[in-house]
Amino acid sequence: MKAVGRRTAGAQQHDAAVAALGVAVAARVPVLLWGAPGTGKTSTIRAMAEKMGWPCETVIASIREPSDFAGLPVVVGDGVRFAPPGWARRLAEAGRGLLFLDELSTAPPAVQAALLRVVLERVVGDLALPADVAVVAAANPPEQAADGWDLSAPLANRLCHLAWEIDPGAVADGLAGGWAAPTVPALPDRWEAGIGLARGLVAAFLHVRPALACAPPADAASAGRGWPSPRTWDMAARLLAAVDAAGAGEETRSALVRGCVGEGAGVEFLAWLVEMDLPDPEAVLADPGSFVLPKRGDRAYAAVAAVAAVVAADPTPQRWVAGWQVLGQAAADAPDVAAVAARTLARCRPDGTPPPAEVKLFAPVLRDAGLLGG
Amino acid sequence: MTTSGGAAPGTAGTAAGGMTGVPGLAAGRLWAATRFPYLASGLFGAQVIAVHDIGTVAVDDSWRLHADPALTAQWTPAQLGSVLVHHVCHLLRAHAERAASAGVVPDTARLWVRCCDAEINDDLVPAGLELPGSPVLPAHLGAEPGRLAEQYFAAPRPPDVPSGNPEEPDGGRLDCGSGADGLRRPWDSGGPAGLPPWQARLLARQVAQDCLRHGREAGNVPAGLLRWAGDLLEPAVDWRKALAAELRRAVADAAGAVDYSYRRPSRRASVAGDVVLPALRRPVPDIAVVCDTSGSMSDDLLAMALAEVEGLLRAVGLARQLRVLACDTAVGPVRRVSSARQVELVGGGGTDMGAGIAAASSLRPRPAIAVVLTDGFTPWPDEPPRGMRVVVGLLGDDPPEAPDWARAVRVPDG
């Protein structure tokens, strides 16, 4: 992670969006940048294609007809053939490249419908584009583009949505030193092996929260952004594997997951991943010596408080003493964190159990805080 | 797939022995976590770094507190703990981010921070916060308590209320840091890495959940914090945005605006040989607004919703197609209006929106979209009207549900 803490949160989020764009392109997941007009979406995407040496076909969706994406129907003999337009032929001949769909949200509904197969399956009329063609799109939020439509829910569900918010600092840097083109990370040959593990994680999460497996949005405004469905969860799993293979940061991973399944479901999934890292309190009680205090303060507190809470729920003498052993170890590194949990344990002392030696460890800090006897 | 790890070393790891060199930190934090247990995750999640000779305790937006040990040594544990709580609230309430949207520049930063302080302190000081010096309260800004920092900031200050707190001369004020006003401080660039933004968001959500749970179980969480937690976990949807999206969708669907159709051959087909081209069609939809004028309706809210509908239709170029029906149990005369101000609300008494919808669908030419503005206390038809999309604006707080076949948008009061 480069220079965190030296950049504003806004700049970090923009960096994450740029990195997320690169990862999504590398993983060949269709991606859509949402941002106000004039914030450099188009130039960033073109610069990225140029840097990779890929052909980039820009198709402005709002001035195209449905037949430009579904193929032009041509009457041949006794049937109709759907002839692909020139840009699709060029991409197919090159064998790889970037298909850039600009102004997606100002495309009329019929054009959006025709785009459904292009975006996910890369099929244009009767022509299937090669697997190495990446689909990238850009759109203005409907409230910022006067003639905009909301994206239709089926089209929105085929894309990973990234917020393109420009940080003033990044603009100043870009004007002074030129705009940095996003790098598409080179994924190792066997990166797709990691998708299985990521799918397993998603599946475990959906066992806990089955309601989030498929939750089409109720209102029209949020239907145009990412929402959880089996398809978007699969996209999220693919991107999770790609992020790990590319060694991109956690902010990038967060942006990609939220972009696929939407803000609400994405945040819940990420919070669940964090929780998974905490030690299991019952396992800790069974073997107090194995307890390792998490490094970060709030996680240390969560781990210690969880141990105290399970002891308080079932305070047998043996569990109670084991709980104090855990707190005794924690007190060496973080006396205040452990002292909060110690107060919980002190209140649930089983009858006839003598206070263990660890209790004395907490006396000084409790006295300093004016809490002794309270 | 681990989410902790080396990226964000926290307080606990470096806390051994000298407690990061900030005297009294353990006792102060313990005091704060005991007194404000619902903020404990946030208090322990913030990383305290000793920085000498800055003369303050300042916070930045990656959850790092830069504390001058010489200063904290003079404070009691309760005072240090209170400063921690205060700074964690700056972070939870995203004051740095909000400063940017409020248009805070270096000249107004001081006033902004005072407004933020007032937003935090107004219900935490009564809850037992013991800040060193005299804390800023809404009264010092000449304002009512319980508002947001933006409201304090935008409010005109009467000339007789001094902008400074009289008991606290300029030198006595402590700098809250970039976490309060979003302006970088020299010390922000040093020290170990803090929390990246997404982890900061998760931590804030965790604290919000703790606040709500504690509020349900123990019930002593200040109302301002509960409101913050509720807003964070279930952000209110802006009804203007929701109504706009529903209307745009209805218009796009009924009109197709400029949409393509193979119903008729294209005029250009003759030059395109064997290619079948679609024609452009642009039906212009008529729109009827059915206003509930029964006794239970609020005039202001109805005027607001109607103005919003009118503005939207003007934006999509359909303002001239608007007809308005006033309806209680009977339907008033239809008026073709060109402005929301021309609508007179007659009526009163009971409500039956079914009559209004039936009247709208018998208009000629038949409207493609009916917008029903009501408080929801009405019987509804069992079946949707044929060939007409219905968007229901439910006005007021806590209205009953609209029928399944209509698209509903809630327009809350205030």
**Residue B269 sits at the chain A interface (C-beta within 8 Å):** no
List the 141-170 stretch of B: residues with Cβ below 8 A of A: none
Helix axes B239-255, B299-315, angle to 10 degrees: 50
Residue A11 and residue B188 in contact, taking contact as beta carbons nearer than 8 Å: no
Structure letter (DSSP) for residue A22: H
pLDDT-based confidence at residue B20 (cuts at 50, 70, 90): low
Distance CA A67, CA A216 (A): 28
Q: Do B60 and A267 touch (CB under 8 A)?
A: no
pLDDT score of B390: 87
Distance CA A70, CA A124 (A): 6
Q: Do B206 and A221 touch (CB under 8 A)?
A: no
Query: What per-residue string of b and e applies to B192-213 under the rule 16 or more CB within 10 Å gives b?
Result: ebbbbbbbbbbbbbbbbbbbbe
Residue B341: in which H helix or E strand, if any? Answer: none
What percentage of chain A's residues is helix, strand, coil (to nearest 5)?
A: 55, 10, 35
List the 331-350 stretch of A: residues with Cβ below 8 A of B: 332-337, 339-340, 343
Distance CA B161, CA B96 (A): 26
Q: Is the pLDDT of residue B14 over 60?
A: no
**Residue B62 sits at the chain A interface (C-beta within 8 Å):** yes
Q: Of the candidates A197, A249, A271, which has its C-beta nearest B205's C-beta?
A: A271
**Residue B271 sits at the chain A interface (C-beta within 8 Å):** no
Chain A residue nearest residue B23, CA to CA: A368
Looking at this protein, which amino acid is placed at residue B376?
A: G
Question: When comparing pLDDT for B156 and B292, which is higher?
Answer: B292
Q: Is the pLDDT of residue B37 over 80?
A: yes
- Chain segment B357-414, per-residue pLDDT in tens: 888 888 888 888 888 888 888 888 888 888 788 888 888 877 888 888 888 888 877 6
Q: How large is the ipTM? A: 0.71
Residue B317 and residue B252 in contact, taking contact as beta carbons nearer than 8 Å: no
**Residue B194 sits at the chain A interface (C-beta within 8 Å):** yes
User: Does pTM top 0.95 for this prediction?
Assistant: no
**Residue A171 sits at the chain B interface (C-beta within 8 Å):** no
Distance CA A90, CA A55 (A): 9
Strands (E) in B35-116, as ranges, are 47-50, 57-60, 64-67
B-chain CB neighbours of A366 within 8 Å are 30
Residue A40: in which H helix or E strand, if any? Answer: none
Distance CA B354, CA B327 (A): 10
Q: Which segments of chain A have a pLDDT < 50? A: 1-5, 374
Please enumerate, as own/partner, the contacts of B392-401 that have beta carbons within 8 Å and a separation of 24 or more. B393/B239, B393/B243, B393/B305, B393/B309, B395/B292, B395/B297, B395/B298, B395/B301, B395/B302, B395/B305, B396/B298, B396/B301, B399/B374, B399/B375, B400/B376, B401/B376
Residue A88 and residue A142 in contact, taking contact as beta carbons nearer than 8 Å: no
- The DSSP bridge partners found for residue B326 are B291
Q: Of the candidates B10, B28, B196, which has its C-beta nearest A297's C-beta?
A: B10
B-chain CB neighbours of A240 within 8 Å are 1
Q: Do A142 and B248 touch (CB under 8 A)?
A: yes
Q: Do A67 and B277 touch (CB under 8 A)?
A: yes
Q: Do B275 and A251 touch (CB under 8 A)?
A: no
pLDDT score of A231: 93
A-chain CB neighbours of B65 within 8 Å are none
Distance CA B223, CA A36 (A): 37
Nearest to B192 by CA among A18, A293, A274, A295: A295
pLDDT-based confidence at residue B170 (cuts at 50, 70, 90): very low
Q: Is the pLDDT of residue B4 over 50?
A: no
A-chain CB neighbours of B26 within 8 Å are 335-336, 339, 365, 368
Chain A nearest-CA distance from B398, in A, is 18
Q: Is the pLDDT of residue B169 over 50?
A: no
**Residue A221 sits at the chain B interface (C-beta within 8 Å):** yes
Q: Is the pLDDT of residue B2 over 50?
A: no
**Residue A271 sits at the chain B interface (C-beta within 8 Å):** yes
- Chain segment B256-273, per-residue pLDDT in tens: 545 566 666 666 666 666
